Structure 1
C-alpha cells in the first residue's frame, strides 16, 4: 500500500495496486449500486473519484462523508468506468479524520461569489479557483528564485523594519513598543522616540531597494524578494497594504542592461508558468471566458488569458521614451475625441488608461517607457544630461507595460554621482543625515548600477487573470481589514 498525491495517482498507468487517498470531499452522490466520492488534496485542480459499494463500508462512516469532510480512502486503483479520468479507487476502507457539518459548512458544491469567498479566506483555498491561484503563485515564486540563481544573482534579505522611506511617499506603518496611552514627551512636547525600542522612529519597509543597492555594491548582482507595506488608504482592486516585492539590483548595469534583464526575466517566469501550471491555467482561462460573456461587448477583453500570456512571451517589447509616448497619446483618437478620463500633457504621471492604449491599441506589444520627467520620479534615479528633444529635465527611469494591467515593473539606472544625489535628496526634502549610509556608497567606490521592482501580486494577477488583487494573496490586508 502506498500514499501518493492525487496528481500522481491520476497520471498512473499501473492499476490493480492498493493505494490510500487522503484529502477533502468535494462531492458525494449516491446511486442504487454505488456511492461516488470526489476527493481533492490540493496537489492538482482535479479530483479523484472513489467508488464505495453499499454494505462494504459502514453506514455510520458513510453518513460522515459529506462535502468538506477530511477522509482517508484505502482501496484498489482501477481503470475508471466513467469519462474524465483514467483511474479511480474502489474503496475497501474509509476513515473520516474530520467531518464537516453539512448544515454549517459554507463551501457547498455551488457557485460562490469572490466577495463571499473573501469573507471565508480560511476556507477559500479549497475551491477550484483559489487552489489554482495559489499553486500558480507558488510556481511563479519558484521560477523567480530559479531565474536569479541560474543567472548569478545572490538572494539578499533586506530588513522589514526600517528608519528610511525609500519612496519618499510617507505612507508607512509605524513600528513601536511605546505605551500609546502614556506616550513619553520631549521638553518641546513631541513624542520622545529615544525611549522607543530602537531609540528612534521606525516603520515597516515600503521597499528593499536602498539596502539592495548596498548589497550590489559588494556582490555585483543581488535580488530581494520579501514583504513590503504601504499605509495607503485605498480600496481599489489594485492595492494592498501588505504585498511582496521582487527587486534586483545590479552593479555595472546601465539603463539598456536593466531593460534587457527585465524583459528576459518576465518572459522566463511566465513561460515557466505556462509549462508547469498548464492544468490550472487552462481552468482559469475557461473561467475568464465565462466571466467575459457577462460583460458588455465594449468592456470585453480582446485576448483570452492564455493568449495574453503568450502575447508577452512571443513578442519583443517595444522601447520608447516618455516624450515619444506623450506625442503618440496626443495624436491618438481617444485623446482627440475626449475619451481619456485623465488629461495628456508632458509632465503627467501616465495613468493606466494611457499605458494600456499604448500596449493594446497602438503597438499591440508590451512596451518599455524610458526617460521620465525628473519631477515625477524618485530621488535616487540617475539624471539625464539636458536634451533639446525633451521638454524638461528627465531621469533614466523605465516602466514595463503589459496588456490589461498597465505598469507591471518600475525601475531605473540609479544616480551614482554623489553631488547630484545629495542635491536631489535635499531638493525633495529628505534630511541627508537620515541616509548617510546610502550616500556613502557614492563616496566609497561608486559604480554605475541599476535595478527595478516587480510587485509579486501584480504578476500573479496578470498570470491568473483574476480581477482583484485581494484574490491572489492568501490573506489580504486592506484598510479596515486584517482578519485571518
Structure 2
C-alpha cells in the first residue's frame, strides 16, 4: 500500500478507506481499553491521532511505541469522535520502524528552551516550533524563485570561492591548501600564495553582487540566491558566520526602480507564505503571544504576528532620506532623554536601535531609507550630484532593523576608479569589474536581502540562529 502523508489524511480525502501512514510518535496516552497515539510526519504542524483498541493491540505490542519512535500504521481513516481533530485512524496494524529509548530521548512532552534545542539541532526539527519555522523557510525560498522567474530574471550561480572582497570589510574566511604550520613564504616573510591551489589568496564570498553585475550587463535582469560568509566575531541574535543572500541586479534601473522592486518582492514572498503556511504562522504567532505575557507592558507587541505580516503586505513602505531620518532621530524624545546607546549625528552609520526606532516607534511600518553619506557606504554605490551622498537604500523592518541593503551602482568609470582609490582597492584587482564600465556600461542597480532575517521577520523568531538549520557562529560549527 502506498503511504499517505498526514497533511493529506487530515484533509479527509481518504475518509472511509484503509490508509498507510508513516511518521514519528509525538505522544502516547490511554487506558486499559484504548491507546491514543499522536503521529507527525513533518508535512504539517498538526498531528494525526491513531486509535489502537486493546482487543487488537496488547500492552506488550505497543511497548516500543514511545515518544520519538518511527512507526508505520495501517488502518481506516474515520471521522473523529473526540475534540481537537476532524479525522483519526482506527489502527489495524502498527509496526515500529525505529525505536527511541524513552530514558535517553531528549525531546519529551514538556517545554524546552530554544537554547537547549540549539544544542540538539539535529533533533529540533521534530518540535512544533522548528517544524513550523522550517516549513515557512522552505515556502519563502520557493517564493523567491517563483517571483523572479515570473519576472523573467535569470538565476545566476556566483562563486563561493573568490579573490575579491565585495564589501571591503576584510572580515573573510581564507580558503587555502597551504600547510598551516609551515606555509611557503616570500623574501619579506609574507605567505607566498602563488604556491596555493588557485595561485593567489582566496576567500569564501561575502557577496555575489560584483559577479552578478557582470551577468546583468548581458541578461538585463538576474538574481543570485546562495550562501555567503562573514568572519565577524559577533555573538548577537542578528549575526551568523554562514547565511544565505538573495541579490538581484538589474540593468537600466535607477534607485527608485530598485526600491520599488524590493518592496514588491518582500510583499510577494510574505503573501505567498501567508497563503501556504497560515497554520504554521498562526502557531508561531500563538507562541509569541505566550512569550509576550512575561514581558513588561511597554515591550509587548502591538500587533499579532499575522496582523503584522498582513499590515506589511497591504500598506506602502515609508520612504525617507538618510538626512530626514537623522532629523527625526535628533528631534525625538528618545534622543532628548538620552535613551539611545549610540550617538546620532549626520554622517554616522545608523545602528539597530536607530533603525528600530524609526520603524517601530515613529513610522510604525517598514521604512526605506535612501541617500546615505558616501563615507559609510561601499565604493560601488553611485555618487549623487551633491558629492556627499550616494544612491543607496536600506529597507528597515520591525523587530530586526535592516533587512535589505541596495543601491544604484556607479556606472561612470572615472568616478568608480576614484572611489576605489579612496578605499585602497587597486584597479588591477578588479580589472574585470571595471571592464563592464569600459564596454557597454549602463545605469544599473541591485540589492541584497538576508534570507535568514526575512525568515526571522515572517516567523517572529527572536534569534537568527533559530531560522537556519545548523547555525555557524563564533566557536560553534557543530553538526
TM-score (norm 1): 0.98
| Deviation larger for 359-368 or 145-154 | 359-368
Unaligned runs of 5+ in 1: 387-391
Q: Is 1:329 paired with 2:329?
A: yes
Is the contact between residue 2 and residue 18 of structure 1 (CA under 8 Å) also seen in structure 2? no
Post-superposition shift, 1:193? 0.7
Q: Is 1:426 paired with 2:421?
A: yes
Q: SS of the counterpart of 2:61?
A: helix
1:158-203 CA-to-partner distances (Å, cap 9, x unmatched) read 0000000000000000001111122111122111111111011000
Counterpart of 1:437?
Answer: 432
User: For 1:434 and 1:456, how far apart are their aligned partners in 2?
Assistant: 29
Q: Is 1:406 paired with 2:401?
A: yes
User: For 1:59 and 1:329, how far apart are their aligned partners in 2?
Assistant: 67
Match among 404, 410, 416 for residue 415 of structure 1: 410
Q: SS of the counterpart of 1:3?
A: coil
Q: Is 1:35 paired with 2:30?
A: no
Counterpart of 1:309?
Answer: 309
Counterpart of 1:389?
Answer: none
1:295-338 CA-to-partner distances (Å, cap 9, x unmatched) read 12222222221121122111111111111111111111111121
Counterpart of 2:285?
Answer: 285
Q: SS of the counterpart of 2:313?
A: helix
User: For 2:59 and 2:144, how far apart are their aligned partners in 1?
Assistant: 49
1:80-124 CA-to-partner distances (Å, cap 9, x unmatched) read 111111110111111111000000000011100000000000000
Match among 462, 467, 479 for residue 467 of structure 1: 462
Is the contact between residue 394 and residue 404 of structure 2 (CA under 8 Å) also seen in structure 1? yes
Is the contact between residue 61 and residue 96 of structure 1 (CA under 8 Å) also seen in structure 2? no
Counterpart of 1:158?
Answer: 158
User: For 2:172 and 2:463, how far apart are their aligned partners in 1?
Assistant: 23
Runs of 4+ in 1 over 6 A off after TM superposition: none
User: For 2:97 and 2:333, how far apart are their aligned partners in 1?
Assistant: 63
Post-superposition shift, 1:436? 0.6
User: For 1:199 and 1:483, how far apart are their aligned partners in 2?
Assistant: 31
Q: SS of the counterpart of 1:441?
A: helix
Counterpart of 2:442?
Answer: 447
Is the contact between residue 238 and residue 400 of structure 2 (CA under 8 Å) also seen in structure 1? no
Post-superposition shift, 1:58? 4.9
Q: Is 1:9 paired with 2:9?
A: yes
Counterpart of 1:482?
Answer: 477
Counterpart of 1:240?
Answer: 240
User: For 2:161 and 2:355, how far apart are their aligned partners in 1?
Assistant: 33
Post-superposition shift, 1:274? 0.7
Is the contact between residue 140 and residue 269 of structure 2 (CA under 8 Å) also seen in structure 1? yes
Is the contact between residue 252 and residue 449 of structure 1 (CA under 8 Å) also seen in structure 2? yes
Q: Is 1:178 paired with 2:161?
A: no
Q: SS of the counterpart of 1:442?
A: helix
Q: SS of the counterpart of 1:46?
A: coil
User: For 2:321 and 2:193, how far apart are their aligned partners in 1?
Assistant: 45
User: For 1:55 and 1:178, how far apart are their aligned partners in 2?
Assistant: 69
TM-score (norm 2): 0.99
Over the residues paired in the alignment, what is the CA RMSD in angstroms? 1.0
Count of equivalent residues: 479
User: For 1:325 and 1:405, how far apart are their aligned partners in 2?
Assistant: 17
Post-superposition shift, 1:430? 1.1
Post-superposition shift, 1:55? 3.8
Is the contact between residue 61 and residue 95 of structure 1 (CA under 8 Å) also seen in structure 2? no
Match among 386, 390, 393 for residue 388 of structure 2: 393
Q: How does 1:243-392 map onto structure 2 within 5 Å?
A: 243-386=243-386
Post-superposition shift, 1:13? 4.5
Q: How does 1:71-90 map onto structure 2 within 5 Å?
A: 71-90=71-90
Is the contact between residue 416 and residue 446 of structure 1 (CA under 8 Å) also seen in structure 2? yes
Is the contact between residue 22 and residue 70 of structure 2 (CA under 8 Å) also seen in structure 1? yes
Q: How does 1:29-178 map onto structure 2 within 5 Å?
A: 29-178=29-178
User: For 1:225 and 1:383, how far apart are their aligned partners in 2?
Assistant: 27
Post-superposition shift, 1:14? 4.3
User: For 1:279 and 1:402, how far apart are their aligned partners in 2?
Assistant: 23
User: For 1:338 and 1:179, how far apart are their aligned partners in 2?
Assistant: 52
